Amino acid sequence: MLLYAVKRILYVTPVAIGVSIICFLLVHIAPGDPLTAVLPIDATAAQQAEMRAAYGFDRPLPVQYGLWLWKVLHGDLGNSIATGRPVLSEVSRAVTNSLILAAVATLIGFTFGTFFGFVAGYHRDSALDKIASAISVLGVSVPHYWLGMVLVIIFSAQLGWLPPTGAGPDGSGNWRPDFEHLRYLILPAVTMSVIPMGIIARTVRALVAEILTQEFVQALRAKGLSEWTVFKHVVTNAAPTALSVMGLQLGYLLGGSILIETVFAWPGTGFLLNSAIFQRDLPLLQGTILVLAMFFVLLNLIVDVLQTALDPRIQRA
Amino acid sequence: MTAIADAGVYLPVKRSRGYWASVAHRLARDPVAMVALALIVAIALTAIFAPLLAPADPFKGSMLRRLRPVGFPGYPLGSDELGRDMLSRLMYGGRLSLLMGVTPVLVAFVIGSSFGIFAGYIGGRINTLMMRVIDVFFAFPSVLLAIALSGALGAGIVNSIVSLTIVFIPQIARVAEAVTTQIRTRDYVEAARVSGARALSIVRVHVLGNVLGPIFVYATSLISVSMILASGLSFLGLGVKPPDPEWGLMLNTLRTAIYSQPLVAALPGVMIFITSISFNLFSDGLRSAMEVKQ
């Protein structure tokens, strides 16, 4: 087990390096000089050269990458061009907000997804199965940013039950666990939960249907065990895969929340990315994406190792 | 006259269908897939023939007739925030939305399959190396990668298509590699190799014929995601620029109207939803018709 974990970590290292290369190159695929955003329009050639040297842009690309990576490994993601503040502090504040949203959304999605999945898997080809399958297709096909708008139209504009945007009543950038703030969390979290719900329902349905056809289930029933005990066995067998799907979905939501965060003006990483893009704040864009991607890589690793710990049959090479 | 007599005498010859004919036959008997296909064709035709079908100019607005409700005389689906006819804009909007949703998957299908089939067929260390490169792209959730790339490249239709293509290439390549690796070890490929067939002809005859189907089915399942992402990029302001009609962008500019004309504001999203779900259902139907297991 420990050996497997070590192997996984070794395997992840080149992926992490690759991710850092892509993030590094993001600034360089951007059209124009990466300095244009920093420099005033009327900067002289001498001033431009000075800045270029100060930022290290006059060095060869691999050297620049090395210098950049060295800084990153020491927790320095550079400064935001727009605010002048360190990118790392901006990102870590936003990540907390995004994480709360994504975690709650994943929980909602997982709860309903497993419920629909179990119902469908237990009653294959019944009307219930068709309804559950339809829900999961709807969940993966709906443009979630549109769903968010529709929910705002219904629950904020029409009924006036929930606030349409923001993370809290004070308009501040931080979510706190109290009732007032909870009301702000409901709409974005429900909107976001639709995607993992559809995917988890599909996965669990297939899993349960497959487990139920296995011989050990027949054996359990033949032994005269109650349907409840059989159900518990099915759950135990479906859990590792279902949980790993849930873990991955959390990562997807964290990285993919930009559209929903924009609709709800949720002060998370998506919102940060949005402003970074439109202010051409490349260090902020690069830093946010690096943090999110690394988080995703780490989450993948944790999920993999945990899944193997739960079910040693599935060690991946 | 003998022909008629003969027809009664001979039993009808039962010809066995070819593979693709039987796929089409099974697909035709799947009502859900057929409805989905009909919707896709209808939306595509409406978009293509928008200049002939649209009742009004999609660019011509009137500040006096802004945000008319659905069913208002002269505006069957209302008017938008600049007083432009919604029905016409939704018809025209399909052009860019479909173009931006379908093109990345098509291009990624060609590039990703070539990459994956090459890696899978060649095997060994080169395969491992190629797949490790692909793994790096899997470290980014698709939405994040699409937004990162088009955010860095800058707004625009071409940049959005390029970004989405880069997002889908690794996904298709991974499936292509997996399928090809499976086929490569089959006895008939081994037999062809032993009998002296050249690598290129083995790939053409034995590999392509067997792998393109599954890869194609997988690619069709990506169109739905691609449509949502492409319109999402425009929704963020990274894709199509105003005043061009595109569903995602229309959804964005109509956000201010959710209090006054909620139904009109939601319409572009309905179009994205219908298109995306139709592609999803058609892809599901195609998968079961081809008996491709994931």
Structure confidence at residue B2 (pLDDT): 47
Tell me the nearest-neighbour CA distance from B201 into chain A, angstroms.
32
Q: How many whole angstroms separate alpha carbon A43 and alpha carbon A48? A: 6
> Does residue B46 sit at the A interface (CB-CB below 8 Å)?
no
Nearest to B144 among A27, A150, A289 (CB): A289
Structure confidence at residue A314 (pLDDT): 61
Tell me the nearest-neighbour CA distance from B137 into chain A, angstroms.
8
Nearest to B143 among A141, A256, A300 (CB): A256
> Does residue A285 sit at the B interface (CB-CB below 8 Å)?
yes
- Residues in chain B with CB shorter than 8 Å from the CB of A145 are 232, 235, 251, 269
> Does residue A160 sit at the B interface (CB-CB below 8 Å)?
no
| Chain B residue nearest residue A286, CA to CA | B148
Question: How does pLDDT run across A133-155, given as a tens digit for each residue?
Answer: 888 888 888 999 999 999 988 88
What was the ipTM of the complex prediction?
0.85
> Does residue A255 sit at the B interface (CB-CB below 8 Å)?
yes
For B92, half-sphere exposure in the C-beta direction (CA atoms, 13 angstrom radius) is 21
> Does residue B35 sit at the A interface (CB-CB below 8 Å)?
no
Question: How does pLDDT run across A228-240, given as a tens digit for each residue?
Answer: 888 888 888 888 8
In the block, residue with structure tokens 């864009």: A285
pLDDT under 70: residue ranges of chain B: 1-17, 292-294
Nearest CA among A176, A203, A174, A196 for reference residue A254: A196
pLDDT under 50: residue ranges of chain A: 317
Helix runs in chain B, H state only = 2-9, 19-28, 31-48, 50-53, 86-122, 124-138, 142-153, 157-184, 187-194, 199-202, 208-236, 247-253, 262-290
Q: How many whole angstroms separate alpha carbon A302 and alpha carbon A233? A: 25
